[in-house]
Chain A
Amino acid sequence: MSQQSLTTTPAGAQGAGGGGALPRGSRLGAEKLFRGLATAAGSTVLVIIVAIAAFLIVQAVPALRADSENFFTFQSWFANDDPPKFGIAAIAFGTVLTSALALIMAVPVALGIALCLTHYAHRRVASTLGFFIDLLAAVPSVVFGLWGRDYFRGPVGDFSKFLHDHFGWIPLFGGGGPYGNSILLGSIVLAIMVLPIVTSLSREVFAQTPAQNEEAALALGATKWEMIRTAVLPYGKPGIIASVMLGLGRALGETIALALTLGAVYNVSFDLLGTGGNTIAANIALKFAEANPTGRSALIASGLVLFAITLVVNMTARAIVYRRREFVGGAA
């Protein structure tokens, strides 16, 4: 191909008057067209983000107008009634609670795995084990949900009973049985799903720690853990924060796994063990089939809230990553 270009291009360049780096003439049309196409394709992303907000607002307004209760403080969901009564207080609370619990459980483990893969395990072992963690990320959420409901509910139920029997005086574990779909079950499943995301991002960050910093720490006589605490963790701090926030974004929007493992109960309660829990996303999946037009519009309204929350979380996370990238890029 390059040979062909060698023979044809000088002629073309001469025909166009020569001198310039790029041939002039009819090819400029193709160049403009291609550049225009690429710019349009790139801009699609912006268009889609704006369109999501716009269309969700348009479709949400009718239900918000018809709602006879306060959308932000009412705890139940009777959007199909006439007049419709619905509010996101309980499901928004559930969304935040399950996500927070999932992160509390997942982040320490994920950071441990990331450290293990970058600084502890043998390199070849680490790449194989990292592959397994990536596989965990590839498992569809409906499979997590099914596993949580059909298998994991048993062990978690036993664990709930154990917690209630021995630590029942802590309000979180005060709920009595039966121990079925609960906030505890949902948030543990969610934690397992968030784990690979936080792991893969913090692993990247830890792997980027400058070797000089690590070697300097070790040369001063630091133990491996002291080296990690003084060199790796401070360097990776912004990256860790960003990866946690991205995990949070994923957790907030998780739908199917939670629809299968939470109790779908509309109340604001810190009881983790008893039947309970619901989230904005799970509520949409559970209520959609039975929704009438107003009900559908109400679900879209709750989706708009979810979109706004995840947008803020993701933008914050990305802003942190970007600032850090500039910093690292400038130092390099």
Chain B
Amino acid sequence: MTVGSHSARTRVNLKAQRLPKWAPAALGAGAIGVAALAVHATGFGGPVLTGVTAALLFVVGLAVLSAVVEGGRTSRDRIATSLVYAAFVLALAPLLSMAFTLLSKGTERLNGYFLGVSMKGVSAFDDAGGAYHAIIGTLEQAGIATLITVPLGVLGAIYIVEYGRGRLATLIRFFVDVMTGIPSIVAGLFILAFWVLIVSPYLNNGRPEYSGFAAALALSVLMLPTVVRSTEEMLRLVPGALREGAYALGIPQWKTIVRIVLPTAAPGIVTGVMLAVARACGETAPVILVALGNPAINFNPLSGGQSSLSLYVYEQAGTASKYAPGRAWAGALTLVVLVLTLTVAAKLLARRNKLAR
């Protein structure tokens, strides 16, 4: 003890002058106080402008104070730190606002009735109608798209990881990545130009047929690169020793892939597929172009227009009626619950995946 107090008394201060730890907090409180007085109390602006002013006062004040006490370099460091955290708050604000709006406006109409009836025979100006037909459409379209995409995507990833050598494999990998960036509306136009306008007339007495299946095709175009990429990443994580062990036992390559590599990578592949499905469920643009929508319940994806949840939200958003926004928000809440359930489940699955972590 005596030694400690002695050295404390005679200590040479090697450290540069620092602001006390409580200084930023005090400065923050001061900035809010000044901003509230100058902006809010004088009626110049609302709470948002007050917050912005307080943040600006805080950054400037801290920078000046730090520059005086600690010097320019530390001052710049403090500015960067506050800006980095400010960026974060700025990004969370819309997320919170959206969640709040979604819950407050979406729950007004969301009930068993809304989920159980379609819009058939419901005028835009009736205080009625639901999204049953749209939910059916979303589930069928996403389901068919998954059935098309999963075998194709997993096989494609197997080619890239297990078989692909040379220029073709590089080319395919590159264009899988490029294909991830194809706008959804272009995928819709492609299926419109290819399936609806050219192929479907042969199946439908010469008239182009807009259908839920066409929407599923468009969604497949969007899902395929995502599924290939995530499967590819998972296959690469499978230890080479597992493959070599199988080869050493004389098992042919294809059987090694099907019986050993794929089951090992399966949880990760499922995660990737779920994320792709979640994204596909939320796509609106292709459905507008090739499924056209339908106010009635249509279980048949091959014939006749079909709606989907996202299309339903878009249609109701564009309807001038005092009941339409309520329907749009209830549909949006249903859609977000569906998409987020899939996404969160996929992420939780990924967290439990031993291969990836």
Contact = CB atoms under 8 A, between A and B. Distances in A.
A151 to B, nearest CB: 5
B273 interface: no
Contacts of B86: 112
A30 B91 contact: no
A216 interface: no
B84 A58 contact: no
Contacts of B84: 112-113, 115-116, 120
A288 B289 contact: yes
B87 A116 contact: yes
Most buried by A among B95, B180, B247: B95
B340 A138 contact: yes
Contact of B88 (A52, A116, A144, A321): A116
Contacts of A38: 155-156, 158-159, 162-163
Contacts of A223: 73-74, 76-77
B254 A30 contact: yes
Contacts of A58: 193
Contacts of A249: 181, 183
A168 to B, nearest CB: 17
A64 to B, nearest CB: 14
B190 A51 contact: yes
Given A108-B87, A138-B343, A143-B98, A303 B224 contact: no
Interface of B: 45-46, 48-49, 73-74, 76-77, 79-81, 83-88, 90-92, 94-95, 97-98, 101-102, 105, 151-156, 158-160, 162-164, 168-169, 171-172, 174-187, 189-190, 192-194, 197-198, 221, 224-225, 228, 245-247, 249-255, 257-259, 278-279, 281-285, 288-289, 310, 313-314, 317-318, 325, 328-329, 332, 335-336, 339-340, 343-344, 347
B164 A250 contact: no
A103 interface: no
A172 interface: no
Interface string A287-315: 01100000010011001001100110111
Most buried by A among B153, B189, B279: B189
The 10 closest A-B pairs by CB, nearest first: A253-B183, A140-B282, A112-B87, A41-B155, A42-B159, A314-B181, A34-B254, A9-B250, A225-B80, A223-B77
Contacts of B98: 139, 143-144, 147
Given A42-B155, A318-B178, A142 B190 contact: no
B91 A147 contact: no
Contact of B314 (A1, A132, A142, A152): A142
A116 B183 CA distance: 30
A37 B284 contact: no
B282 A141 contact: yes
A256 B49 CA distance: 30
A149 interface: yes
B215 to A, nearest CB: 14
A195 B91 contact: yes
Interface residues of A, number: 108
A4 to B, nearest CB: 10
8 contacts: A35-B163, A42-B156, A42-B169, A52-B190, A55-B198, A110-B87, A116-B87, A303-B186
B313 A22 contact: no
A46 interface: yes
Contacts of A267: none
A5 B317 CA distance: 60
A315 B181 CA distance: 9
A151 B91 contact: no
Interface in A1-33: 1-2, 5-6, 9-10, 12-13, 21-23, 27-28, 30-31, 33
Interface in A234-259: 246, 249-250, 252-256, 259
A123 interface: no
Interface of B is mostly: helix
Nearest to A21: B247
Contacts of A116: 84-85, 87-88
Contacts of B257: 34
Nearest to B186: A307
A144 B182 CA distance: 20
Given A13-B250, A22-B252, A45-B228, A146 B259 contact: no
A195 to B, nearest CB: 6
A145 B332 CA distance: 10
Contact of A113 (B87, B159, B175, B185): B87
Given A43-B172, A136-B91, A253-B183, A143 B77 contact: no
A5 B155 contact: no
Given A142-B310, A147-B102, A281-B183, A48 B328 contact: no
A5 B250 contact: yes
A96 interface: no
Given A112-B86, A143-B98, A300 B284 contact: no
Contacts of B279: 138
A332 interface: no
Nearest to B178: A314
Given A151-B97, A284-B185, A315-B178, A9 B155 contact: no
Nearest to A53: B190
A300 to B, nearest CB: 5
A41 B159 contact: yes
A256 B250 contact: no
A28 B255 CA distance: 11
B347 A134 contact: yes
A155 interface: yes
A33 B224 CA distance: 22
